[in-house]
Chains A and B, each alone.
Chain A
């Protein structure tokens, strides 16, 4: 049922691939596997004959021979599905067509074909690799079709001889909302069929016609030799399976904002309260976690000023005195916006930069009601840094004051 459906979907897409002249339009032939079993091929006749030599009365006799007792080697069906990654495939949020690569190996002794199916494992499925997270945290959306055999869409392998294999890939898209460290687990299953596509049943024989394995009469019975259960199949079910995973490699931004009333016009800095005329310091902190997989390239950070707030254009320093106009400026008059990069190898690491909030393209502009920092300007290209880039373990802190109206 599944196979039929998959084929129907695959067919028109195959056509498109050809029309575009895609080089991988056609399935490549299976290739020998790296570690062959070299099993005796199914339908091989094994014959045994014993001979005897003896003398009677010291006279050698004509040697005797036994009958040639023979039997035929049966079909040892065993399919292996083996993921080709030593670690989860690293993906970025919002990316499409990310590839998981498997090999489907005929580890038996008879030419078979395999029906393929992909499984998106539920959230919470154990990570098929060592390491964190221990369980999957999201489900990547597999494409339609999701399965490609040697680069061509399709859910059925070619006929694969014993000790031969084909490369099967699964394509999936990653949601834009996924965050660093998210894991999606996927499985590929391969179900053994005869080259006719007919299901293989344990114990039932099948004639082999033509090819290197041709033999007259019956192949003999099929033995399901997959004695080890795969992650998504059972013991002795002629099905092989393996799991692979996508792990989101992204920045891991923590983005927080605090508001602290630092001065009020009555009590100044003693138990200062958020009353009209009070100075409130906003601190916006953007950190890329040290454990993050990737840098973040910040574009803008925007904060909206409510109608009840007025920008303190001078970044006043709170003191136990008043009025507001008498307070000192942290940097200089008109430099109302502070940017500080820490944990960074940038030249300005730990050195506060001050910007005007005037609309003067210095990187921080106040266009009421929004105050916007353009990080490409504030954190320009330098050495190993892109404009606006914050690497894992780095923090950008934006500080400004507002006055309660």
Chain B
């Protein structure tokens, strides 16, 4: 019981910190980590539920859905919007899982120095030979918005990655 109480307290602290830090930009981002778990519903049928990763049992091999929700509160339309998400440590991107409505998705295998669409990212191996980077090589992922965001625009971009 003690341990559980401590855990919840920790979560509250995280939430509070974020509220202070992200309050300054009119284009507000909120990151959420979730996992899909299969449970039996009241009818006894398997049902996939999406739950907060921090409250689920996430162990190596599990897939986490990283979602960034955005909302624009500025007066004029925001243009050239790019959301960048470095691949969290211990995670491997699951190829083909990044999505974002109205965006062009690009990946970097060189810690954000260069980006290219999936399958066209190049990486140099230890001998300097260039090859196409695999999903596991991706260090960053970005969503380049094709249009402008009007005031009040809301949406989300997400990708899936597996715990090493």
Chain A residues engaging chain B, CB cutoff 8 angstroms: 37-40, 42, 44, 46-58, 61-76, 109, 203, 205, 207, 217-218, 220-223, 225
Contacts and interface: CB of A to CB of B under 8 A. Distances in A.
Contacts of A74: 57-59
Interface stretch (B30-38, B114-122, B126-134): B30-38
Given A40-B163, A69-B33, A55 B79 contact: yes
Interface of B: 3, 6-7, 10, 14-15, 17-19, 21-22, 24-33, 52-54, 56-61, 64, 66, 68, 70, 74, 76-86, 88-91, 149, 157, 163-164
A73 B22 contact: no
A58 B21 CA distance: 25
B74 A56 contact: yes
Contact of B59 (A38, A109, A203): A109
A57 B91 contact: no
Nearest to A76: B59
A38 B164 contact: yes
A202 to B, nearest CB: 9
A71 B60 contact: no
Given A40-B163, A48-B66, A217-B6, 10 more contacts: A37-B60, A54-B82, A62-B24, A62-B25, A66-B22, A66-B30, A67-B15, A69-B66, A217-B7, A223-B57
Contacts of A109: 59-60
Contact of B54 (A44, A70, A203): A70
A46 B83 contact: no
Contacts of B82: 52-54
Given A64-B25, A109-B59, A54 B81 contact: yes
Contacts of A38: 164
Given A52-B83, A53-B80, A71-B53, A61 B3 contact: no
11 contacts: A46-B89, A50-B68, A51-B29, A55-B78, A55-B79, A57-B76, A64-B29, A66-B68, A70-B14, A73-B58, A217-B10
A39 B58 CA distance: 12
Nearest to B28: A64
Contacts of B164: 38-40
| Ranked 6 nearest A-B pairs via Cβ | A67-B18, A64-B25, A66-B29, A76-B59, A39-B60, A69-B31
A70 B164 CA distance: 15
A373 to B, nearest CB: 69
Contacts of B79: 54-58
Contacts of A65: 21-22, 25, 29
Given A67-B21, A220-B58, A55 B80 contact: yes
A43 to B, nearest CB: 11
A47 B22 CA distance: 16
B146 to A, nearest CB: 13
A61 B29 CA distance: 14
B25 A61 contact: yes
A46 B59 contact: no
Contacts of A66: 18, 22, 29-31, 68
A65 to B, nearest CB: 6
Contacts of B7: 217-218
B60 A67 contact: no
Contacts of B74: 56
A50 B90 contact: no
B56 to A, nearest CB: 8
Given A40-B90, A72-B54, A73-B90, A218 B29 contact: no
A73 B33 CA distance: 12
B65 to A, nearest CB: 11
Contact of B88 (A47, A53, A63, A220): A47
Contacts of B6: 217-218
A72 B84 CA distance: 23
Given A46-B163, A66-B31, A203 B84 contact: no
Contacts of A225: 59, 61
Contacts of A44: 90
Contact of B64 (A67, A71, A221): A71
Contacts of A42: 59
Contacts of B30: 66-67
Contacts of B24: 62, 64
A69 B90 contact: no
A284 to B, nearest CB: 67
Contacts of A56: 74, 76-79
A180 B78 CA distance: 85
A53 B29 CA distance: 11
Contact of A51 (B52, B53, B84): B84
A56 B82 CA distance: 13
B86 to A, nearest CB: 8
A71 B58 contact: yes
A52 B18 contact: no
A383 to B, nearest CB: 60
Which among A56, A63, A70 has the greatest number of chain B C-beta atoms within 10 A? A56
A53 B86 CA distance: 14
